[in-house]
Structure 1
Amino acid sequence: AEQAAAGAQILLNINASPFHRGKAEQREVMLAERARKTGLPVFYLNLVGGQDELVFDGASVVFDASGELLHRSPQFEEDFFVVEVPLAGEGAASGSVTPLLEPVEEVYRALETGLGDYVRKNGFGGVVVAVSGGIDSALTATIATDALGADAVWGVAMPSRFSSSHSLEDARALAENLGIRFDVVPIDGVFQAELDALGEVFAGTRFGVAEENLQARVRGAILMAISNKFGPMVVATGNKSEMAVGYATLYGDMVGGYAVLKDVFKTLVYDLARWRNKQGEVIPQRTIDKPPSAELRPDQLDTDSLPPYEVLDQILERYVERDLGVAEIVSEGFDPGLVVRVALMVDRNEYKRRQAAPGVKITTKAFGKDRRLPITNAYRPDET
């Protein structure tokens, strides 16, 4: 109203509004209401591209004075468009409305844009990804290939004595489907040398987390050696569920210049993989179907240490993204002991997240700038 009273004939909003899931719809509701309240056409022009954790999704829009949508540009694409809007409220308007992407595709395009721009704008010639035969590394390699092209992606499998035969087969099949370079660098020799070096120090103790993490750190060292020698940036493959509860190894599988799945819960990882395969099957079906495992000890499964991801992600979404307390989450029907356990894991692993690589923000509250909590914090949630 103030703008109209001052003589404005249109409202022009030049913006850099970062993406998160569902934001495009929220933005358009607000802009349509602004047009109706002011009685003025609204031109909203949004930035496109990635900058560190943020992705700008474009989707510029034009509304007429009644709040009717006249034009929408594609998401995640630069666009040049001409729209005719009658200023006096008479005459025909012209424009084209590109449909918004479906929710899962929207996230995929955001991840692709964020990783691709981070690599290109920082001058890296390509990326290297640890491909284990698991779902996270498969999706990471696939996004990287879609973003950068097969020639810019290098997959490395690093099997150990605990790796299943099908894991290496699935990793090789993925690389062949994507058309990327693929190398196998077994880690058992280096792992055994470290065990031998620590033999006296570890004498009388059982095989445990320390030995498991040694394997992850051997793999991290190999990836960084390849990066140092040949120049590709290491892309970390961890997801938001793992980062939330600390199911990751510092200086091991967390190494990398960018973590494209950092803000993606594990359940969404599966949705993204299935969506991508519908566009053209590249991720082996067995990779999607088999139970997730770090394969750092015999017959290991993620569910040995964590609740099923279908349950874990619901608790994490409430605790991390919606800031609900333990009692509030329990009131929604979740097991009290499990909620307390998950909350404690989240709180105790802030130190790991503080050392993690940046990654694409796709939610309203990503770890890092959106959720700033101290590492040193003696507070613990109630057990009731």
Structure 2
Amino acid sequence: MKIALAQLNPIVGDLQGNRRKIVDFAHQAYRQGAELVIFPEMCVAGYPPQDLLDMPAFIEAVAHTVETIALEVPRELGVILGAPIRNESPVGKRLFNAALLLEGGRIVARVPKRLLPTYDVFDEYRYFEPGPPQPVVEWRGLRIGLHICEDMWNNEDWAPYHLYDENPIDELAAQGIDLFVNISASPFSLGKHDERSRIIEGICREHGVPFIYVNQVGANTELIFDGDSRVHAPDGSILLCAPSFQEALLIWDTEADYAPYVHRRTEIEDLHDALVLGIRDYFYKTGAFEKVVLGLSGGIDSAVVCALAVAALGPERVVGVAMPSKYSSPESVEDARQLAENLGITFHIIPIMPAVDAFREMLRPVFDDLPEDVTEENIQARVRGVTLMALSNKFRYLLLSTGNKSEMAVGYVTLYGDTNGGLAVLADVYKTQVYRLARYINARAGRYVIPERILTKPPSAELRPGQKDTDSLPPYEVLDVILQRYIEHREEVDEIVAATGFDRALVADILRRVDRNEYKRRQTPPGLRVTGKAFGIGRRLPIVMRWNRAVLEEVRRNHTAALQTQSERAS
């Protein structure tokens, strides 16, 4: 038998476009001899549809779309796809997240998702009712263990704890199956390929049956989906794997022999391609913009964002703007110009000092000759933000924000200045990773696309004479280690100090900075998610709060004192 894996890039809410794509891929699979074609989770609606699921009109339109797809695909072809369906019971949430099997112009099987993730970027229990235990799907002599995304992620025996008290994989296997099929909308993060492989390989080895995994590809706002669809043999080895970050149709011939698949992609290659896809899909799926624009400071962050934008959209759709002040070095303007020439983009120089001087003169009576401080630095950044937003408004340009995760974490950004924009490309990329990306971009091109001087000069905001980032921050090689351990691994001060040997006061100060700058991050553009814990929808902290780590020490002392007092009274 030939089974097709259709790695699709749907658009959230584009029911007609998604339908046409599903039908087209189904016909392609049928022409190539497939008897069954498998599509990703929620591919009819796009994932994540969020509160579109609360709209009755949307759910009705999805139902009609599924019925139309069933009529438009080849009648002899089995089609598995994902869509929200109504829960007809009077109890529970009104919807299921379901896998549907279509054949002969109708729906012949419905399998609701059992395990609903409600952590990080996921909020499925907000909308869906967990499905009941399901029998295997019997189809043309195959006993298929059909399940959806999270249903396979509760199967790791080595995990210190499990989120759910059910294991759909083991329950399906206990009924006797010939094949596992998992349809997913599993977001990308660095290292995700190996994590999925470990899970699926373990399932195959435990139960001795092959495993088909079909994942969505594409980007929807912050979330990027890498695809990574594959077929595993009963021993866990990968027989076929779709290319990452692009649509694909794989045909698995169950009778054919396959050489073992070897994954050769590097982490920096994945990071680069994920960001390129994120820019491209945000630009084209919104359909609201003619080009992208960004400020080119002559620094590493804007250079990398510019190169990524060109890779995503082509040089004809990218506009770079240098906005020098009296503190900008001539070399920075030269580097920005050289970058623009190397990439072949439109380039403008718009000096900001006339506007900065006008603001200073306007504010002089109120400031009353107070000494200059960060206020005047921020005016420069905000004038640049206003300039770029003016270009965005006038020409329908999407403004790309260039700040990185390291700066955003500790608040080393200016609200309504360098945080302006419609998409924050590097919001989940640490500064040290930005340098790695720059070197990768140059190596991939075989030339200095990003000028060498940008790579070697000390990073600076150039908002006052002789300013360097290290005036306000520890070296990024130190800062990024602390941030990664705190944000992604949830380690606290003592754990970070023990693991790194860094000064305790430094570590505690960095963690305090992260906590107290949530108000800035909440007001920034959506950022492309590429790590296991990004700022944004997956990390929710209150802005107004009085928590700080000194409270923990105080609470410990109070508890000890209370215990001692109780002991003294008892004696």
User: Would you say same fold, with TM above 0.5?
Assistant: yes
| 2:315 aligned residue (150, 168, 186) | 150
Q: TM-score, normalised by structure 2?
A: 0.65
Determine whether 1:370 maps to 2:370.
Answer: no
**Could you tell me which of 191, 197, 202 is aligned with 2:367?**
202
Q: Indicate which of 505, 508, 511 corresponds to 1:340.
A: 508
Q: Which whole-Å deviations, capped at 9, do the CAs of 1:184-206 have from their partners, x for residues lacking one?
A: 00000000000000111122311
What's the CA shift for 1:61? 1.0
Aligned to 2:261: 97
Equivalence for 1:289: 456
Give the alignment of 1:98-117 within 5 angstroms. Answer: 99-117=263-281
Higher RCO (C-alpha under 8 Å, 6+ residues apart) = 1
* Larger mean Cα displacement after TM superposition, 374-383 or 101-110: 374-383
Query: Counterpart in 2 of 1:122?
Result: 286
Q: State the distance in 2 between where 1:250 and 1:4 align.
A: 54
1:24 is aligned to 2:193: yes
State the distance in 2 between where 1:96 and 1:328 align: 41
Distance in 2 between the 1:95 and 1:310 partners?
Answer: 41
1:369 Cα deviation (Å)?
1.9
Q: Given the alignment of the two structures, is residue 260 of structure 1 paired with residue 425 of structure 2, yes or no?
A: yes
Aligned AA for 2:459? P
- Check the 8 A contact 2:428/2:535 in 1, yes or no: yes
Matched, 1:74 2:243: yes
Question: SS of the counterpart of 1:82?
Answer: strand
| Residue aligned with 1:234, SS | strand
1:250 to 415, 431, 441: 415
CA–CA distance in 1 between the matches of 2:363 and 2:441? 44
Distance 2:329 2:369 in 1: 28
Aligned to 2:332: 167
Task: Pick closer, same or farther for the CA change 1:200–1:169 going to 2, 3 Å.
Answer: same
What do residues 29-57 of structure 1 show as CA deviations (whole Å, max 9, x unaligned)?
Answer: 11111112222110111111001111100
1:150-204 residue CA offsets vs partner (Å, 9 max, x unmatched): 0110000000000000000000000000000000000000000000001111223
- Pick aligned residue for 2:496 from 325, 329, 336: 329
| Secondary structure, counterpart of 1:294 in structure 2 | coil
Q: Equivalents in 2 of 1:381, 1:155: separation in Å?
A: 43
- Residue 459 of structure 2 is aligned to residue 275 of structure 1: no
Amino acid at match of 1:336: R
Residues 263 and 137 of structure 1, relative CA distance in 2, 3 Å threshold:
same
Is the 2:392–2:398 Cα contact (8 Å) retained in structure 1? yes
The answer on 1:313 being equivalent to 2:480 is yes
Deviation at 1:217, TM superposition (A): 0.4
Report Cα offsets for 1:94-153 as digits up to 9, x if no partner. 377363411111101011111110011001222001001000000001100100110110
Structure 2 CA distance for aligned equivalents of residues 25 and 208 of structure 1: 49
Report how far residue 65 of structure 1 moved.
1.4
Percent identical residues: 51
Give me the whole-angstrom Cα distance separating, in 2, the residues matched to 1:99 and 1:29: 13
Q: SS where residue 229 of structure 1 aligns?
A: helix
1:177-192 correspondence to structure 2 within 5 Å: 177-192=342-357
Provide structure 2 residue ranges, at least 5 long, that are not aligned to the other structure.
Answer: 1-169, 554-571
Aligned to 2:376: 211
The one-letter amino acid paired with 1:304 is: D
SS at match of 1:223: helix
Separation of aligned partners in 2, 1:329 and 1:99? 32
Matched residue SS, 2:549: coil
In 1: Cα distance, 2:492 partner to 2:327 partner? 39
Farther-moved stretch of structure 1 (168-177 vs 4-13): 4-13
The amino acid of 2:181's aligned partner reads L
TM-score scaled by structure 1? 0.96
**Which residue, 162, 175, 184 being the options, matches 1:6?**
175
1:93 Cα deviation after fit: 2.8
SS at match of 1:324: coil
Judged with a 3 Å threshold, the aligned counterparts in structure 2 of structure 1 residues 100 and 59 are, in CA distance, closer, same or farther, namely farther
Partner AA of 1:210 in structure 2: T
CA deviation vs aligned residue, 1:308-331 (integer Å, no higher than 9, x gap):
101111111111111111122222
Report the Cα distance in structure 1 between the residues aligned to 2:396 and 2:259, rounded to whole angstroms. 46
Distance in 2, Cα, partners of 1:261 & 1:46: 24
User: Which amino acid letter does the alignment assign opposite residue 302 of structure 1?
Assistant: D
Where 2:308 maps in the other structure, the secondary structure is helix
Q: Distance in 2 between matches of 1:17 and 1:36?
A: 22
- Correspondence for 1:89: none
In the alignment, structure 1 residue 40 sits paired with structure 2 residue 209: yes
Amino acid paired to 2:463 = L
Contact 1:4–1:39 (Cα < 8 Å) also in 2: no
The offset of 1:357, in angstroms, is 0.6
Determine helix, strand or coil for the equivalent of 1:108.
helix
Note the alpha carbon deviations across 1:266-321, whole angstroms, 9 max, x for none.
00000000011001231000001000000000110000111110111111111111
CA RMSD of aligned residues (A): 1.5
| Inter-CA distance 39–2: structure 2 relative to 1 (3 Å threshold) | farther
Aligned to 2:529: 361
Name the amino acid aligned to 1:132: S
Secondary structure of 1:62's counterpart equals strand
How far does the alpha carbon of each residue in 1:55-96 deviate from its partner, in whole angstroms, 9 at most, with x for none? Answer: 10011110111212111111112111212224xxxxx53377
